[in-house]
Amino acid sequence: MKHKKTIRIVVISILIPTVIFMTLAYVTFQAVMHMGSEQIQTKVKNYNTLTSTSPRHATVFFGDSITELYPLEDFYSDYVIETKTPVLNRGISSEKTASMLARLEKEIIPLHAKHLIMLMGINDIFDGIKPEEIAHHIEEMIVMMKEKSPETRLILQAIYPINEQDRDSFYEKLMMKGNGNESVQKTNELLEALAKKHDITFLNINPLLSDENGNLKHAYAYDGLHPNASGYRIISDEIKKMIK
């Protein structure tokens, strides 16, 4: 009897901290998601407001945090001078393809861009969304753009690889578990097929960004996901070849 009581005490002493930890993790996750959602909506409203005064026939970068953090003014100043083509950033951190599809009508189509550089899907992958659903959302965007802004040249980028070992927090590693480069590769195969189907440009820079194991090179990103200046330079050089 004493032995069983001891076991119960040990089990309870393990379970209680575990339950507390999981509860706190869930509450924190919900708070972060809510905060992220509010930030996305604020940025959407800002972009909607800017659309009426933004230059037409620009080269527009459309995506998530990798796009939002992209210092376009540093890497494309020569392009702007040479081509007389403005460059616009329409990236929103943490955004997934469903949200991008929802803002296409008001924010992107009215710009009648010269080029639309599309990079999207990594947040969907982290959220466990299937490659087929990601591709479906992107195909809807392609169809809508070709119908309502046929003069725009669409350049669909392959989703960049990640480096799970360089992600810092337990939360980040947990989010990527099972949703890493294997899912990136599967999604990219679908995106390449989409590009061929709709006769648009598919740009795969990944061979230049990846190490021998297919991971994002440490030299090109500090956190295993977002490119640093060296990474953005590689990306910019390849994109410029497509838009000059």
Average pLDDT for residues 16-24, to the nearest whole number?
A: 53
Q: Are 128 and 193 found together in one domain? A: yes
What are the pLDDT digits (tens) for 208-229?
A: 999 999 999 999 998 999 999 9
Q: What is the pLDDT of residue 31?
A: 43
Q: Are 142 and 168 found together in one domain? A: yes
pLDDT higher than threshold 50 for residue 195:
yes
Q: Are 200 and 131 found together in one domain? A: yes
Angle CA(61)–CA(64)–CA(69) in degrees, nearest 5?
Answer: 75
Q: Are 47 and 67 found together in one domain? A: no
Q: What value does the mean pLDDT of the chain take?
A: 87
pTM of the model: 0.82
Average pLDDT for residues 12-30, to the nearest whole number?
A: 52
- Sign of the CA dihedral with 20 first, then 25, 28, and 34 last: negative
- Token pair, residue 180, equals 């890493």
Q: What is the pLDDT of residue 46?
A: 79
- Token pair, residue 103, equals 């803002």
Q: List the CATH number of the domain containing 85.
A: 3.40.50.1110
Average pLDDT for residues 72-84, to the nearest whole number?
A: 98
DSSP 165: G
Name which residue leads in pLDDT, 164 or 98.
Answer: 98
pLDDT higher than threshold 70 for residue 231:
yes
Name which residue leads in pLDDT, 178 or 65.
Answer: 65
Average pLDDT for residues 119-146, to the nearest whole number?
A: 97
Domain count for the chain: 2
Query: Quick count: other Cβ atoms within 10 Å of Cβ 111?
Result: 22
Q: Are 8 and 101 found together in one domain? A: no
Given a contact cutoff of 8 angstroms between Cβ atoms, the answer to whether 84 and 90 are in contact is no
Q: What is the pLDDT of residue 168?
A: 55
End residue of a domain, out of 9, 33, 53: 53
Q: Are 62 and 49 found together in one domain? A: no
Q: Report the C-alpha gap between 101 and 144 in whole angstroms.
A: 9
Q: Residue 17: which domain range? A: 1-53
* Coil, strand or helix at 56: coil
Among 117, 208, 113, smallest CA distance to 157 is for 117
End residue of a domain, out of 10, 32, 53: 53
pLDDT higher than threshold 70 for residue 9:
no
Given a contact cutoff of 8 angstroms between Cβ atoms, the answer to whether 112 and 150 are in contact is no
Could you tell me where the DSSP H helices lie in the chain? Answer: 2-51, 65-68, 72-75, 77-83, 97-103, 122-126, 131-148, 170-176, 181-197, 206-209, 229-243
Q: Are 100 and 31 found together in one domain? A: no
- Token pair, residue 54, equals 């933004």
Average pLDDT for residues 27-44, to the nearest whole number?
A: 60
Beta bridge pairs of residue 156: 118, 202
Q: Are 46 and 163 found together in one domain? A: no
Q: Report the C-alpha gap between 59 and 57 in whole angstroms.
A: 7
Q: Are 16 and 68 found together in one domain? A: no
pLDDT higher than threshold 80 for residue 118:
yes
DSSP 199: T
Q: Are 42 and 116 found together in one domain? A: no
Q: Are 154 and 231 found together in one domain? A: yes
Q: What is the CA radius of gyration of the chain?
A: 21
Angle CA(175)–CA(117)–CA(224) in degrees, nearest 5?
Answer: 30
% of residues, the chain, pLDDT over 70: 80
Q: Are 76 and 177 found together in one domain? A: yes
